[in-house]
């Protein structure tokens, strides 16, 4: 029987696992925690689809155009066409799995308007679309678990891939229950590990999405793409451990952004962009906020208690709980935060990386979103990419006999043993904090070459000491062995941003503020023994 190893059990990982299982392919679904802890459950907004009964004037072609335009035409038309054409089928599949969508009186899923889109085409489940989809997929995966086709492995972390001559034969995992590494051979390995939050410390996302798998596989030969495109969400509130997202709905309902100067409120977005200024795209608002010296506030108090209670209860509750802010009477102090990574593994149309039999799906794969992502397209892409990879894997012959990885495994095992025997109080988290501080300073909303060079210098320094230090071994072993991969990914991200000497979508360079046709291609970065090689994908090797 064909065997697939899926790393990560959020929506894209489960979508892939379920689709593989439907084809009779055995799936080992690996994650440190159950799907209920994945970042997917935090996706609130909705999922885009153009269905037969769409808004008058809407079409799949229009969804394709909106997606390409939102991504500043870096997304490949063929890939985006596949994504948008499958929206209706994916929506039907989710309904068929029992996802509890918000519905009208006839029981049909409701849709709403989302930023950057010409028509209403975002289907939603109250304010917890991601969670409801996860719950439905967990049930469906459970059906195949009961049949023995999906084998869930919890408390299990990715360590490295088993690669020989450009072909992936499986992965080395770290089993946290048994406290030992385990090599698993498979006909295909699918990475579904989410975004790269750890590079920035506090973000709106999960602490579990750290980018390690991308960093490690990059070091093992996987090409990465468009790492410079990182979406900032303009309205988040600061808390000691994370950035709490204040939904775009707050501005959609009429919320106004302002700052105070000399006791007077300055509605800077409206002054510059007119009445709809507060609803400009996320990158434009984030940049405008970045240019303001004063604290920026979001005011929804004038909307009234009734409207807030009916339409923005989550905003009300988050502000009260984590900011002690009474939104009925007080404005919300907001600032932009890292929210989504358009970059990740460079993948071909079937979501296979440049390493044969190694696939990537969901946020960790760079596809569809180009230089910026539309709201509602991330859940669609998670579902679609998982399905695309599964279909490709199911249709392929088995890989065949794997070469002997004994030497590689024993070397890695020795390194693990050494780390675990360390008697040091020094925690890896101190280095992670230094990395996040540098990335926030140099890889923020507005970048320039000098600052990026400083960032590169910082990360080079951290990389040079990281392997020589001994760390507190009382924490999870994964926390310690993941450091170098995370640092390497950060270094690659800075390199991509340095190389793109233009401004496009979420990447803004104050020393090159215009968009340039010369850079109208995706960035591809590869690693070769410590050197970071960047090129533009002018031949459309990865996306067309």
Partner 1 sequence: MRVSILRQKSAESEPYREIFEYDGSPDNTIAVLLDHINYNDDITDIYGKRTDRISWECSCLQGICGACAMVINGVPALACETFVRDLKGEEIDIRPLSKFPVIRDLIVDRTSIHENLKQTNIYIGEYQPSEKSSHAQQYITAKCLKCGLCLEVCPNYVNGRNFFGAVFANDCYLAASRNRSKSKEIRGVYSKHFGADCSRSLSCMDVCPMKIPTITSIAMMNRK
Residue selected from 38, 122, 231, 523 as contacting partner 1 according to rule CB under 8 A: 38
Residue 48's DSSP bridge partners are 122
* Window of 140-148, 282-290, 458-466, 535-543 that interacts with partner 1 by CB under 8 A: 140-148
Considering only the stretches 35-43, 79-87, 342-350, 374-382, report the one whose residues sit in contact with partner 1 under the rule CB under 8 A: 35-43
Query: Of the ranges 34-42, 289-297, 410-418, 521-529, which one interacts with partner 1 (CB under 8 A)?
Result: 34-42
CB 171 within 8 A of CB 155: no
Residues 121, 216, 225, 242: which binds partner 1 (CB under 8 A)? 242
Q: Are 245 and 232 in contact (CB under 8 A)?
A: no
Stretch that binds partner 1, among 96-104, 213-221, 253-261, 483-491 (CB under 8 A): 96-104
Q: Does 241 bind partner 1 (CB under 8 A)?
A: yes
Contacting residue, 207, 301, 349, 515, with partner 1 by CB under 8 A: 207
Report which DSSP code applies to 92: H
Least Å distance, CB 71 to partner 1, is 27
User: Which of 53, 56, 324, 518 touches partner 1 (CB under 8 A)?
Assistant: 324
Q: Minimal CA–CA distance to 19: which of 397, 354, 395, 358? A: 395
Residue among 293, 366, 389, 287 at smallest CA distance from 541: 366
Q: How far is the CB of 90 from partner 1 (least distance, A)?
A: 15
The Cα–Cα gap between 523 and 528 comes to 17
Residue pair 188/203 in contact by the 8 Å Cβ criterion: no
CA distance readout (Å), 298 to 256, 269, 456: 6, 11, 34
Helices 483-499 and 212-219 sit at what angle, rounded to 10 degrees?
80
- Is the CB of residue 212 less than 8 Å from the CB of residue 354? no
Q: Does 132 bind partner 1 (CB under 8 A)?
A: yes
Which residue in 52, 56, 177, 291 binds partner 1 (CB under 8 A)? Answer: 177
State which residue, 63 or 432, has the beta carbon closest to partner 1.
432
Beta bridge partners of 257: 298
- Told to check if 23 binds partner 1 by CB under 8 A, we report no
406 vs 425, which CB is nearer to partner 1? 425
Q: For residue 215, give the nearest of 509, 523, 525, 543 by alpha carbon.
A: 525
Minimum CB separation of residue 236 from partner 1 in Å reads 11
Nearer to partner 1, 211 or 370 (CB): 211
**What x-and-dash track marks residues 55-94 binding partner 1 by CB under 8 A?**
----------------------------------------
Residue 333 as a binder of partner 1 (CB under 8 A): the answer is no
Q: According to CB under 8 A, which one of 15, 318, 360, 496 is a site residue for partner 1? A: 318
Number of C-beta neighbours around residue 349 at 10 A: 15
Q: Does 267 bind partner 1 (CB under 8 A)?
A: no
Please tell me whether residue 422 binds partner 1 under the rule CB under 8 A.
no
Nearer CB in complex with partner 1: 133/494? 133
Number of residues that bind partner 1 (CB under 8 A): 53
> Rounded to 10 degrees, what is the CA torsion of 92, 98, 104, 110?
-50
User: By C-beta, is 129 or 523 nearer to partner 1?
Assistant: 129
Out of 128, 301, 330, 349, name the contact with partner 1 by CB under 8 A: 128
Name which of 61 and 103 has its Cβ closer to partner 1.
103
Residue selected from 2, 26, 111, 131 as contacting partner 1 according to rule CB under 8 A: 131
Which two three-digit tokens encode residue 263? 């006791």
Cβ partners under 8 Å of residue 290, min gap 6: 336, 444, 445, 446
Among the candidate windows 181-189, 289-297, 319-327, 438-446, which touches partner 1 by CB under 8 A? 319-327
Please classify residue 455 by burial: count the beta carbons closer than 10 Å to its beta carbon, then call 0-12 exposed, 13-18 middle and 19+ buried.
buried
Q: To the nearest whole angstrom, how small is the minimum distance from the Cβ of residue 309 to partner 1?
A: 16
Neighbours of 526 (CB within 10 A): 17
From the list 316-324, 328-336, 351-359, 450-458, the region that binds partner 1 by CB under 8 A is 316-324
Q: Is 49 or 222 the residue whose CB approaches partner 1 more closely? A: 49
* CB closer to partner 1 out of 23 and 155: 155
Site residues (CB under 8 A) for partner 1, limited to 146-165: 146, 152, 154-155
The residue with tokens 């890989």 is: 399
Residues 6+ apart with CB under 8 A from 25: 1, 2, 3, 4, 149, 390, 393, 394
Q: Applying CB under 8 A, which part among 62-70, 125-133, 512-520, 535-543 lies near partner 1?
A: 125-133
CA distances from 127 to 50, 83, 247, 451 (A): 21, 24, 10, 38
Give the sign of the dihedral formed by CA 10, CA 392, CA 359, CA 147.
positive
DSSP H helices in 302-376:
305-311, 313-323
- Interface mask toward partner 1 for 438-477; x: CB under 8 A: ----------------------------------x-xxx-
Q: Which phi and psi (to 5°) does residue 486 adopt?
A: -65, -45
Among 210, 202, 286, 228, residue whose Cα is nearest residue 532: 228
Q: What whole-number distance in Å separates Cα of residue 88 and Cα of residue 106?
A: 18
Instruction: Give the tokens for residue 74.
Output: 């870096």
Among 129, 135, 480, 503, binds partner 1 (CB under 8 A): 135
How far apart, in whole angstroms, are the C-alpha atoms of residue 478 and residue 159? 8
3-state class of 438 per DSSP? helix
Axis-axis angle for helices 77-85, 60-70 (nearest 10) = 130
The residues binding partner 1 (CB under 8 A) are: 33-34, 36-39, 41-42, 95-98, 100, 103, 107, 125-126, 128, 131-132, 135-136, 139-140, 142-143, 145-146, 152, 154-155, 176-177, 206-208, 239-242, 244, 318, 321-322, 324, 425, 427, 429-430, 472, 474-476
């Amino acid at each position: 029987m064909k065997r697939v190893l899926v790393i990560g059990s959020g929506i894209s990982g489960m979508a892939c696992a379920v689709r593989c299982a439907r084809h009779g392919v055995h799936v080992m679904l690996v994650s440190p925690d159950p799907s209920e802890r994945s970042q997917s459950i935090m996706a609130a907004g909705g999922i885009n689809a153009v269905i037969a009964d769409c808004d008058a004037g809407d079409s799949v072609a229009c969804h394709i155009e909106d997606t390409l335009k939102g991504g500043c035409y870096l997304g490949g038309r063929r890939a985006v066409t596949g994504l948008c054409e499958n929206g209706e089928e994916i929506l039907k599949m989710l309904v068929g799995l029992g996802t509890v969508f918000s519905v009208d009186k006839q029981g049909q899923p409701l849709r709403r308007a989302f930023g950057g889109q010409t028509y209403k085409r975002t289907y939603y489940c109250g304010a917890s679309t991601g969670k409801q989809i996860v719950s439905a997929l967990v049930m469906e995966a459970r059906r195949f678990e009961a049949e023995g086709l999906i084998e869930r492995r919890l408390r299990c972390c990715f360590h490295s891939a088993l690669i020989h001559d450009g072909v992936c034969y499986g992965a080395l995992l770290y089993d946290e229950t048994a406290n030992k590494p385990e090599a698993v051979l498979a006909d295909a390995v699918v990475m579904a590990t989410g975004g790269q939050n750890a590079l920035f410390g506090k973000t709106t996302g999960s602490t579990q999405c750290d980018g390690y798998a991308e960093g490690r596989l990059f070091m093992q030969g996987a090409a990465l793409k468009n790492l410079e495109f990182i979406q900032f969400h303009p309205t988040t509130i600061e808390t000691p451990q994370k950035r709490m997202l204040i939904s775009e709905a707050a501005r959609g309902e009429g919320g106004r952004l302002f700052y105070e100067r000399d006791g007077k409120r300055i509605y800077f977005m409206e002054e510059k962009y007119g009445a709809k200024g507060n609803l400009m795209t996320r990158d434009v608002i984030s940049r405008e906020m970045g240019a303001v010296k004063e604290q920026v506030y979001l005011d929804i108090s004038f909307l009234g208690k009734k409207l807030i209670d009916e339409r923005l209860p989550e905003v009300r509750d988050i502000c009260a709980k984590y900011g002690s802010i009474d939104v009925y009477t007080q404005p919300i102090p907001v600032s932009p935060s890292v929210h989504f990574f358009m970059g990740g593994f460079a993948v071909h149309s079937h979501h296979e990386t440049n390493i044969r039999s190694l696939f990537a799906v969901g946020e960790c794969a760079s596809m569809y979103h180009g230089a910026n992502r539309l709201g509602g397209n991330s859940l669609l892409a998670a579902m679609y990419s998982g399905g695309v990879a599964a279909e490709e894997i199911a249709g392929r012959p088995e890989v065949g006999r794997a070469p002997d990885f004994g030497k590689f495994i024993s070397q890695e095992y020795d390194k693990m043993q050494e780390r675990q025997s360390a008697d040091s109080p020094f925690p890896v988290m101190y280095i992670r904090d230094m990395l996040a501080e540098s990335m926030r300073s140099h890889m923020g909303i507005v970048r320039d070459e000098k600052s990026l060079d400083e960032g590169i210098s910082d990360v080079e320094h951290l990389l040079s000491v990281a392997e020589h230090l001994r760390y507190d071994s009382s924490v999870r072993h994964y926390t310690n062995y993941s450091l170098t991969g995370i640092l390497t990914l950060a270094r690659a991200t800075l390199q991509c941003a340095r190389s793109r000497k233009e401004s496009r979508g979420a990447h803004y360079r104050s020393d090159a503020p215009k968009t340039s046709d010369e850079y109208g291609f995706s960035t591809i970065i590869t690693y070769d023994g410590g050197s970071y090689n960047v090129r533009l994908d002018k031949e459309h090797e990865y996306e067309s």
